[in-house]
Amino acid sequence: MRSFILRRLLQLFVTLFVFLTIMFFLVRMTGNPAEAFAPTDATPEDIKRIAAGMGLDKPLYIQYFLYLKDIATGSFGQSHKSLRPVSDLLLTHSINTIKLAAVTVVLSIIIAIPLGVVAAVKRFTLIESSIGVFAVFGMSVPGFWMGIILIELIAVRLGLVPAGGMSGPSSYILPAITMSTLLIAGLVRLLRSSMIDTLDSDFVRFARMKGVRKRPLIWKHTLRNALLPVLGFAGVQIAMFLTGSVVVETVFAWPGLGRLMYSALIERDLPVVQGCVTLFVFFAIFINLLVDILSSYLDPRIRLG
Amino acid sequence: MALLEIEDLHTYLYTRWGTVKAVDGTSFSLERGKTLGLVGESGCGKSMTLLSILRLLPWPAGRIVSGRILFDGEDLVQKSEGELEKIRGKRIGMIPQDPYTSLNPVFNIEKQMTEPIQIHLGLKKRQVLKERVTEILRKVRIGDPEKRLECYPHQLSGGMRQRVVGGISISCNPDLIIADEPTTALDVSVQAQYINLIRDIQSTYNVALLYVSHDLSLIFRICDQVAVMYAGKIVEKGSVHEIFKETLHPYSRALVTSIPPVDCDIERLPSIPGQPPKLFALPQGCYFAPRCPHAMDKCRQAYPEEFFVSEGHSVSCWRYA
Amino acid sequence: MIRSITAIFSYLIRGGRGRSVPRFPPIIPAVIISITIICALFGKYIAPYDPEESDLINRLQPPVWHEEGDWSHPLGTDKLGRDMLSRIIIGSRVSLSVAVLALALGAFIGVSAALMAAYFRGWVENVIMRVVESLQPLPIIFIGMILAIVFGPSFWNVIIAMAFIVWARYCRSLRGEAVSIMERDFVLLAKVAGASSFRIMFRHLLPNIANTIMVLITLMVGWAILSEAVLSFLGAGIPPPTPSWGRMVSEGRDYVATRLWLSTVPGTAVVLVVLAFNMFGDWLRDRLDPKLRQM
Ligand SMILES: Nc1ncnc2c1ncn2[C@@H]1O[C@H](COP(=O)(O)OP(=O)(O)OP(=O)(O)O)[C@@H](O)[C@H]1O
Ligand SMILES: [Mg+2]
């Protein structure tokens, strides 16, 4: 188990490294990178100062080293707009993102697991078709469309919950619903097909030969095995989920990282965008690692090698 | 009265490509404590017959269309799923075809072995359960049982896994064990041991055994009765002596004469010229006629009925009309 | 009763997924896809107005179902008075061309990588698969955003960002199958007969994984259209004035309180088209490759 986690950790570290390297070279490819980092109204002195900070007068490998060092120490420079250090902004905003994401993930798992299981168990019935159609809708509906419609119907017309911003618990409702739709749809589709395969497997049939009742058969013998391939696809799901979180925060004016990144992009505030993107990728990697730990817990073949 | 009596069983599989008549009018019976061997080429419907008994057919394709399966006088075909759950594993134990994939990879051996005992005998205490399964593991000759209980299936060898599977099947002292080629996946030396083990258990507890195998010399050694199956139907059945020494049906003859003379028990089913028929496009008349050296005109027109040549020895072939 | 409702319903939107897979595709998705493709190809002749021409007198006109709307602009006009219907028709071209180009590029790289991994095995495969795995957790949007802010938003940015993600997914999904085909007799025979590695990869391996490639492409068209819309919505996609559905939604957001249709109409176009492609892809997968069965 430890060696498995270490291997995955190394792997994810490589992911981060690949990403940072790509970002580094992309920024250096644009003529004068200091200009890209400078605000639009910067004076030539400002640009020179920024260039010195980035080490642009030094050889490329030193620049690269400096860049990695900056990221490792969490210093992403200064926002042009608010003139605050990017790391401060990241800190305050990421907490809100994490809160919303946690609510959404819990909600999604609570809903997706029963739906996926039921769809597989009740095959060829109206129940399965309905869950199937719901899942295809969930895969196809962009968060911005759903968010706008929910705001209009539930927040504006009915006035049940706030239309945006982060206030009390009720302000979580709409963003969480919007964000969980895609995740639920993806999980349900994966889980259903994996449940169907597992229900068809020899060991489930043997469990029935032993006289195991239907309920433990499904929820213990089948589900636990069926979850493993679903976890195997977690990388893609997590990537889509984080993309969704940027959209949802933008639509609902949620004061999180996604919204920070969106406004920085509109204002062409490169240091902030770079910081947000790096942090998001870091989140993606962290969640992947959690998933790996979970699957090694569920699967003794991984745990015991 | 026989323990298991199958009467005119029809089990069809409704697939994308058409209806497969996997079991098509099969009848046989098995006495308490006796062994019945079911033989036939691959794909002739042996596994489907066994799975019909426990009503564990592939879903949604498989269905028992008609027939009766009398187990201890009660018709299993009419039973509800809940009633069947009480019979499976308790009164009928099944040893499936593949030991490698039959154990759940995420649970340890202890959990998988104690499960049927917990369900059927209502034992709850961990210590009692543990003692019981240790006992069973000893019975199926697994060394160091306490340690094995902690293991997960992937940590055991194929032979050990098959013993565990066998141990689970006998753990509630069933009246009937159904074994579907339990040794095909094992290597030769382990095979012989395993067969002896099943035989031992059978004679100690007076269990009836329904045994499917490709290995005719093995069938000859362990069975009391034999039924030969071809394309979903039983073509000949009788005592082991009758089938092997007074063989009637040309198909059985082809099987029997091709057993190697030496008592070498690894020999697989020999090849018989021609292809077994596709079960969803069966020929008219006797299904074996296209491959039969003695085929007559009559054989190509109508399927032969069952003719009794003696008490208990019957054959479906026009030559014995 | 319930049965026949299910049957009709299946026939219309799911291609009758039941115990068997029918020959005919689901009707409604097929119709939507056909309309989208026709709009993308011949939009110029179909669109009633020039989608980029503004008409400030007629700005912010409501669509026909609104009491003040009329048929001169069936879906109304935007804040510059541009005809929404024409913009949506032309927008299909952007959506589809981004999707097709990105998937084609991604598929080309991904398939080549999978073929190489399957053919050479050993360290080649190792390196390829490590890269593929390390790309897995990267969300497309962040690559798109970095490209957008560094180079400014552009059509090709979106395609490159997407292809960058797509190829890894293709490679991951195809490698296993390619490896198992490599081990089949006819490939071994070709190898023994001295066929060149290029020939084996493209004459023997490729045709045998063609079905899977088709299914994967169809299944990802929806995703690609959706991703383009999201990137454009966030201002990191197709730059103005080219009409793009995602950006139309975001431009309409300034008016949500009073003129909701400005956002919801283009948003609905995205939903319908993506839904149609996803349903069609599911049907095709069941039809061509029951092994990839999901839902
Ligand atoms: N899940 C299934 N779906 C459709 N057809 C099946 C399925 N399982 C088996 N069949 C078909 O049913 C027929 C009988 O199969 P069965 O498994 O009973 O054969 P068998 O005699 O046990 O063969 P073997 O010796 O290879 O185990 C075969 O022709 C097979 O093609
Ligand atoms: Mg079988």
Centre of ligand 1 from the C-alpha of residue B22, in Å: 7
Domain-located, residue A26: no
Which of the ligands is closest to the CA of residue B58?
Answer: 1
Q: Give pLDDT, residue C15.
A: 64
**Using one digit for the tens of pLDDT, what is the confidence trace for B43-68?**
889 999 999 999 999 887 889 999 99
- Give A224→chain B minimum CA distance, Å: 8
As a whole number of angstroms, the distance between CA C275 and CA A62 comes to 49
Mean of the pLDDT values across residues A290-300?
A: 90
As a whole number of angstroms, the distance between CA C118 and CA C170 comes to 13
Mutate to test the pocket of ligand 1, among B16, B20, B95 (most ligand atoms within 8 A of CB): B20
Nearest-5° Cα angle at B55, C22 to A121: 50
Centre of ligand 2 from the C-alpha of residue B71, in Å: 22
Residue of B nearest to C290 (CA): B16
Do B105 and A304 count as a contact with CB atoms less than 8 A apart? no
| CA of B278, closest atom in ligand 1 | 29
Domain-located, residue A78: no
Residue of B nearest to C21 (CA): B16
**Using one digit for the tens of pLDDT, what is the confidence trace for A55-91?**
777 788 888 888 888 888 888 888 877 888 889 999 9
A31 — pLDDT class (breaks 50, 70, 90): low
> Which residues of B are less than 8 Å from A206 in CB distance?
94, 96, 102-104, 165, 168
| CA of B46, closest atom in ligand 1 | 21
As a whole number of angstroms, the distance between CA C102 and CA C222 comes to 12
Residue C282 CB partners (closer than 8 Å, separation 6+): A136, C14, C15, C17, C219, C294, C295
Mean of the pLDDT values across residues C260-280?
A: 91
Whether pLDDT at B204 is above 80:
yes
Asked if the C-beta of C65 comes within 8 angstroms of chain A's C-beta atoms, the answer is no
Least confident of A146-160, A282-296, C49-63, C148-162: C49-63
| Pairs of CB atoms within 8 A across A/B | 82
CATH code of the domain covering residue A95: 1.10.3720.10
Query: Which residues of A lie inside 8 Å of B (Cβ-Cβ)?
Result: 123-124, 200-214, 221, 224-225, 228, 298-301, 304
DSSP H or E segment with residue B236: strand B233-239
Residue A275 CB partners (closer than 8 Å, separation 6+): A76, A77, A86, A87, A89, A90
- Give B22→chain C minimum CA distance, Å: 19
Mean of the pLDDT values across residues C66-73?
A: 78
Chains that touch B (3 or more CB pairs under 8 A): A, C
Nearest-5° Cα angle at A129, A125 to A135: 145
Mean of the pLDDT values across residues B163-187?
A: 87
As a whole number of angstroms, the distance between CA B25 and CA B67 comes to 8
Asked if the C-beta of C19 comes within 8 angstroms of chain A's C-beta atoms, the answer is yes
Residues forming a β-bridge with B210: B36, B178
B265 — pLDDT class (breaks 50, 70, 90): very low
Query: Which residues of C lie inside 8 Å of B (Cβ-Cβ)?
Result: 19-21
Whether pLDDT at C18 is above 60:
no
- Give B17→chain C minimum CA distance, Å: 9
A223 — pLDDT class (breaks 50, 70, 90): very high
Closest CA to C251 of C74, C87, C48: C87
Structure tokens at B48: 């489907």
**Of A140, A194, A257, which to mutate for an interface test with C (greatest number of C Cβ within 10 Å)?**
A140
Give the alpha-carbon dihedral of A109, A112, A118, A123, to 10 degrees.
-140
> Which residues of C are less than 8 Å from B60 in CB distance?
19
Whether pLDDT at B269 is above 70:
no
B113 — pLDDT class (breaks 50, 70, 90): very high
pLDDT > 70: percent of chain B: 94
* CATH class of the domain whose range is B4-91+176-185+209-261+270-320: alpha beta
Domain-located, residue A186: yes
Centre of ligand 1 from the C-alpha of residue B46, in Å: 8
Q: Is C165 in a helix, a strand, or coil?
A: helix
- In this predicted complex, what is the ipTM? 0.89
Least confident of A143-147, B124-128, C14-18: C14-18
- For chain B, the first-to-last Cα distance in angstroms comes to 29
pLDDT > 90: percent of chain A: 45
**Of B16, B17, B19, B59, which to mutate for an interface test with C (greatest number of C Cβ within 10 Å)?**
B16
If one counts every other C-beta atom within 10 angstroms of the C-beta of residue B17, the result is: 10
The residue whose CA has the least distance to atom 2 of ligand 1 is: B58
Residues forming a β-bridge with B13: B20, B62
Which of the ligands is closest to the CA of residue B180?
Answer: 2
Q: Which of A143, A268, A281 comes nearest C138 by C-beta?
A: A281
Q: Is B225 in a helix, a strand, or coil?
A: strand
**Of B57, B102, B154, which to mutate for an interface test with A (greatest number of A Cβ within 10 Å)?**
B102
Q: Give pLDDT, residue B60.
A: 78
Do B106 and A123 count as a contact with CB atoms less than 8 A apart? no
Compute the residue count for chain A.
305
**Using one digit for the tens of pLDDT, what is the confidence trace for C159-199?**
999 998 899 989 988 888 888 888 888 888 888 888 888 88
* CATH class of the domain whose range is C97-295: mainly alpha
Whether pLDDT at A256 is above 90:
yes
Do C169 and A141 count as a contact with CB atoms less than 8 A apart? no
Q: Give pLDDT, residue A160.
A: 87
> Which residues of C are less than 8 Å from A277 in CB distance?
142, 145-146
B181 — pLDDT class (breaks 50, 70, 90): confident
pTM value is 0.89
Asked if the C-beta of B154 comes within 8 angstroms of chain C's C-beta atoms, the answer is no
Closest CA to A238 of A131, A59, A105: A105
C97 — pLDDT class (breaks 50, 70, 90): very high
Asked if the C-beta of B16 comes within 8 angstroms of chain C's C-beta atoms, the answer is yes
Q: Give pLDDT, residue A172.
A: 94
Q: Please state, rounded to an integer, the average pLDDT across all residues of chain C.
A: 84
**Using one digit for the tens of pLDDT, what is the confidence trace for A100-122?**
999 999 999 999 999 999 999 99
Expressed as residue numbers, the domain containing A153 is: 89-266+294-304
**Using one digit for the tens of pLDDT, what is the confidence trace for C232-241?**
999 888 888 8
Domain-located, residue A156: yes
Residue spans per domain, chain C: 97-295
| CA of B50, closest atom in ligand 1 | 18
C209 — pLDDT class (breaks 50, 70, 90): confident
Mean of the pLDDT values across residues A41-61?
A: 77
Q: Give pLDDT, residue A36.
A: 72
| CA of B15, closest atom in ligand 1 | 4
Centre of ligand 2 from the C-alpha of residue C143, in Å: 53
* Residue B90 · residue B123 · CB < 8 Å: no
Do A211 and B86 count as a contact with CB atoms less than 8 A apart? yes
- Give B119→chain A minimum CA distance, Å: 7
| CA of B97, closest atom in ligand 1 | 27
Whether pLDDT at A201 is above 50:
yes
Do B106 and A298 count as a contact with CB atoms less than 8 A apart? yes
As a whole number of angstroms, the distance between CA C20 and CA B17 comes to 9
C292 — pLDDT class (breaks 50, 70, 90): very low
Structure tokens at C196: 């060149």
Residue C293 burial (C-beta neighbours within 10 Å; 0-12, 13-18, 19+)? middle
Residue of A nearest to C267 (CA): A145
The residue ranking higher by pLDDT, C18 or C282, is C282
Domain-located, residue A40: no
**Using one digit for the tens of pLDDT, what is the confidence trace for B24-49?**
989 999 999 899 999 988 888 999 99
Whether pLDDT at C294 is above 50:
no
As a whole number of angstroms, the distance between CA B94 and CA B209 comes to 10
**Using one digit for the tens of pLDDT, what is the confidence trace for C36-62?**
999 999 988 888 888 887 787 877 788
Q: Give pLDDT, residue B267.
A: 44
Q: Give pLDDT, residue A59.
A: 82
Do A301 and B105 count as a contact with CB atoms less than 8 A apart? yes
Helices C155-182 and C84-120: crossing angle, nearest 10°? Answer: 40
- Ligand 1 cavity residues, CB under 6 Å: B 13, 15, 20, 22, 40, 42-48, 58, 61, 279
C261 — pLDDT class (breaks 50, 70, 90): confident
B238 — pLDDT class (breaks 50, 70, 90): very high
Q: Give pLDDT, residue A190.
A: 92
Q: Give pLDDT, residue B260.
A: 58
Residue of C nearest to A251 (CA): C253
Asked if the C-beta of C262 comes within 8 angstroms of chain A's C-beta atoms, the answer is no
User: Total domain count for chain A?
Assistant: 1
Structure tokens at C47: 């669109």
Whether pLDDT at B200 is above 90:
no
> Which residues of B are less than 8 Å from C21 in CB distance?
16
Q: Give pLDDT, residue A245.
A: 92
**Using one digit for the tens of pLDDT, what is the confidence trace for B75-108?**
999 999 999 999 999 999 999 888 788 999 999 9
